[in-house]
Structure formats: C-alpha cells, structure tokens
Amino acid sequence: MRDDLVRQEIKRAAVWIGMAGLAALAVYLAHPLLVIFGGFVFAMLIDGGQRLLGRVLPIRRTWRIAVVLLLTVAFLAWVVEFAGSQIMSQAAEMPPLVTAQAQRALDWASAHGLTMGRSDVSSLLQQLLGGVGQVTQALGGLFGGVTTLLIIVILGIYFVLEPDLYQRGLAWLLPAESREYFHGTTHRMGRTLRMLLAGRMLGMVVEGVCTWIALAVYGVPMAALLGLLTGLLVFLPNIGAPISGLLMILVGFSGGTAMGIYCIIVYVVVQTVDGNVIVPMVAKRTADLAPALVLGAQLIFGVLFGILGLALADPLVVMLKIALERQAEHNTRRDEATE
C-alpha cells in the first residue's frame, strides 16, 4: 500500500467500481429518479404560470405561485364537483362500448375478406383499454399511483419555491471551473422546458374544449369524457392523438353512421388546427425535436416505466438534447481557443 504505483492502481480500480456501482444504483432507483424528474417538470409548469401571471399582476413571486396553485386546485375542485360523477359513469361505460364497436368492425372486415385473427384484436383491445383504464381511473380518483402523483406535486412545489437553493446544491457537487457552465445549461433547459410545457398546455386546452363542445353539440355520447381524454392525451405527442381519435370514432359509430362520420370530421378538424397553428407556433420557440426521436423515447420509457415514463419522455429528451448542444458548443469554443 505504500507503493505509489499500487495506490494509483487502487484509485483507478475504485473509480471503475464506483462507476459500475452508480450505474447499478441508477437502474435500481430508476423509478424514484423519474418521480423526482416529474417533480421538476411540475415545478416548470408552476414557474411558467407565475411568470405569465407576472406580466399582468405585479406582486411578489411567492404570491404569484400561490395564485397559480389556488387556481389549479379550484379547477380540479370544479371538475370533481360538476363533472366528476358524469365522467366516472362515462368512464365505466366506455370499455364495453369500445369493445363492442371493435368487434363489429372485425365482423365487417371478416365479411369483406379481411382475415385478421380475433385473438390479435382481443390482445390489441386489452392493451388499448388498459391504457385508457389508467387514465379514466385517474380521473375518477381511483388511480393506483395517487401517492406518486402527490409526491410529484410536493416536490414540484418545493423546487419552484426555492429553485436557486437546489441549483446551487447541485453546482457545489461540480468542480469550481464547471459551475458557470452548469448554471448556463440549467438556465437554457428551464427556459426551453417552460416553453415546451406551455405549448402542451395550450394544445390540451384547445383540443379538449373544442372536442367537448363539438361532440356535445351533435349529441355524441360521453362527450365530456372524450373531450377530457383528448385534452389529456395531447400531452403525449405522436401517441395521444391517434388513441383519442380512435376512441372518439368508435363511440361515434355506436350512434350510427352519420354520427361516426361527424366524429371523424371533428377529429380531423381539431388535429388540423393543432398541427398547422398551435404546433408550429410552439415549435418556433422551443427545441426542434425529430418526431421519430420523441416516439422512440416514448416507446422505451413507456415499456420501462408505464404511463409516467410515457408522459415524461418528451421533456427528458428535450433536456438531453440541450445538454448535448451545450457540450458541443463548449467543445467548439475550447478547440478554437487552442488553435
């Protein structure tokens, strides 16, 4: 142990063992780490709301955060009080209705020579209704991960109340010469993530409300639930829209061909407005993400962590992209300085 070479080799071995241990620990603690990241994302939502409120209400930041939280609680209370019972009853009626409509579509396809196996359709329906069941149970207050959601909310409130405290704490873990770079990276991440989430929220409100109104005007069954599901699924780009559209069309055809065609028109119009107005407007001011990259991340995180991973895949990809861009910029400046 007194030999310098032996001590040097021990240090190298300790580094490799420590890296392997950290990797194993990250895999073991993947779900808690994702919950912490969910708290950070929720904090960005609150922070974006209070910044927007600060443009019209010149009060202290703490009070603006309190106003945003109170408005959120008031909205949730309104949903539970005025729409909760209706949505819960509709959520209970939707799975059998969707299954029956899908079976009718299978029978029609078989009559026209399409030979898709019933077992394949049943498996697909079980997966679809399983995902929808998680969302509708959450709306009805029966979601099994309510404790996880509560932890995310609490973490988000702590993060948004004292963001500098936690940022400094992470910076202290880094070498002194890297802290300025770290602060610049986190600042850009926060700004981009706020804009991304603002666009998601705008899309959720526009699509959910417009779908609800359009379906209710025509008398489509479960208009409230379909509107709410459409709005919530907007948070999942690439995946949410097809799922909500399929549910809308299946429910529409349960009331006849004319109602089904009307639901198709509503879906196309709403998605066209979102794709040609809202998405481009948001994309100009947020990270330019390749759709295939986002979809791949959603598939991987969805398989690994369920609906929580699916919902947080998009923000996580944005942050990783910004971190890589900042590292590339740093490397470029360093290379230019050495030349």
pLDDT in tens, 278-298: 666 665 556 667 777 877 888
The pLDDT of residue 143: 42
Would you say 152 and 38 are in contact if contact means Cβ atoms under 8 Å apart? yes
- Residue 254 above 70 pLDDT? yes
The pLDDT of residue 70: 92
Q: Tokens representing 102? A: 């899908």
- Residue 303 above 90 pLDDT? no
Q: Tokens representing 232? A: 């919530």
**pLDDT per residue over 255-276, tens digit each?**
778 888 898 898 888 877 776 6
Neighbours of 271 (CB within 10 A): 18
Tokens 């991340």 locate to: 297
Helix/strand/coil percentages in the chain, nearest 5: 85, 0, 15
| The dihedral sign for the CA sequence 321, 207, 235, 123 | negative
Residue 66 Cα distances to 13, 150, 193, angstroms: 50, 17, 21
Task: With cut-offs at 50, 70 and 90, classify the pLDDT of residue 203.
Answer: confident
Pick the more confident residue, 158 or 224.
Answer: 158
Mean pLDDT of the chain: 78
Out of 49-58, 64-73, 92-101, 329-338, pick the least confident: 92-101
- Residue 190 above 80 pLDDT? yes
* Cα angle, residue 55 at apex, residues 54 and 59 outer, rounded to 5°: 35
> Which 3 state secondary structure label does DSSP give 55?
coil
pTM for the full model? 0.71
The pLDDT of residue 216: 87
**pLDDT per residue over 21-35, tens digit each?**
988 888 788 888 888
**pLDDT per residue over 101-153, tens digit each?**
666 776 766 776 665 555 554 555 555 544 444 444 444 443 445 678 888 88
43 closest CA partner among 74, 69, 71, 78: 69
Pick the more confident residue, 303 or 87.
Answer: 303
